[in-house]
Amino acid sequence: MNIIHMKYAVEVARIGSINKAAEELLIAQPNLSRCIKELESDLGITIFSRTSKGMTLTPDGEEFIGYAKKILDQIDDVEKIYHQGVPKKQKFSISVPRASYISEAFAKFSQCISDDSAELFYYETNSHRAIDNILESDYNLGIIRYASVYDKYFKRSLEEKGLGYELIAEFHYVVTAGRESRIARSGEVHYSDLSGMIEIAHADPYVPSLPISTVKKDELPDNIGRRIFLFERGSQFDLLSLNPDTYMWVSPLPDRVLDIYGLVQKNCAEHKRPYRDMLIYRKGYRQTELDRKFITELIASKRAYFPKMDMHD
């Protein structure tokens, strides 16, 4: 299919006349008619109905012209970038666990974006999707979270997939609840203090090469009487602040978040399982300036909000 012929068809559709379009395009009318017929022959459709009132689009023609306009717009964009010196957009993309210290780092990072055009993609999800986003969806970075006991499973899987990794933080979960909850009136929390309360949990744990049933049994034990499963952070904060019977295991929260939602966070004497947040990327990937700025904010946020719990600094 000839791009020039496509441009001719779009112009004829805009004007509605083969003669007037030929004048606009500075081409002989017979030559323009021949180009349109060749395009229709290549596509196997009739683009225009030729009537005494001019050229009108057929249903197939309307569909084709819609696609053609988009294609021509993209060609114009490419030409502007490479022939007219239009600056390329800054791009940043990352998939992350649902963690407030990471989202706060991203918010601060967003303030450093220059006046040049930029596109930022920030996707909160589980470890499986974060890995897939790099392999299949052109995301440049990811952060995966997992219990340290699964370290060998994740590292082996990452290496098999050609992904590099760096430890961001290792920490213990704390328990968080509303300021009207009985947890708020406790000192250090014990499992017995949580009896009869409703646990809020994210329902999509994942460990490579292990059955999901095994992981859920380990990460979401079935000795909890009542549990609410969520897939995003907004609702979890509403539940915690408005329902005093709810609690959740989380990485340490910034004071700002605790104050906004009226929450408290406490250590649990029995809950000492270490977790890891790991930065991942394609092996050989060279970090952009935006990547480095985000990572700087990420490390600063991590150090500010749980320095005592960080085991590898």
The rounded average pLDDT for each run of 10 residues, N- to C-terminus, in the chain (313 residues) is 87 89 88 89 89 85 90 80 65 93 94 79 92 91 94 93 94 93 87 90 74 68 79 86 94 90 91 92 92 94 71 37
Domain(s) labelled CATH 1.10.10.10 in the chain stretch across: 3-83
Six-digit token string for 48: 């225009």
H/E stretch holding 72 reads helix 59-83
Six-digit token string for 237: 């904060």
Q: What is the reported pLDDT for 22?
A: 87
Q: What is the reported pLDDT for 112?
A: 83
Which residue matches tokens 């999901």? 212
User: With contact defined as beta carbons under 8 Å apart, do 280 and 131 qualify?
Assistant: yes
Reported in sequence order, the residue ranges of 203-289 that DSSP labels E, i.e. its strands, are 226-230, 246-250, 263-266, 274-282
Q: What is the reported pLDDT for 243?
A: 95
Classify domain 174-272 at the CATH topology level: D-Maltodextrin-Binding Protein; domain 2 (3.40.190)
User: With contact defined as beta carbons under 8 Å apart, do 266 and 197 qualify?
Assistant: no
Six-digit token string for 94: 């990352």
What lies within 8 Å, CB to CB, of 249 at 6+ separation is: 173, 174, 175, 199, 201, 271
Six-digit token string for 146: 């997992």
Q: What is the reported pLDDT for 86?
A: 55
Domain(s) labelled CATH 3.40.190.10 in the chain stretch across: 174-272
Residue type, 5: H
β-strand partners of 199: 227, 247
Q: What is the reported pLDDT for 266?
A: 92
Q: What is the reported pLDDT for 104?
A: 93
Reported in sequence order, the residue ranges of 109-258 that DSSP labels E, i.e. its strands, are 118-124, 141-147, 163-172, 174-178, 198-202, 226-230, 246-250
Classify domain 3-83 at the CATH topology level: Arc Repressor Mutant, subunit A (1.10.10)
Query: How far is Cα of residue 159 from the mean position of the Cα atoms in its chain?
Result: 22
User: With contact defined as beta carbons under 8 Å apart, do 279 and 158 qualify?
Assistant: no
User: With contact defined as beta carbons under 8 Å apart, do 184 and 193 qualify?
Assistant: no
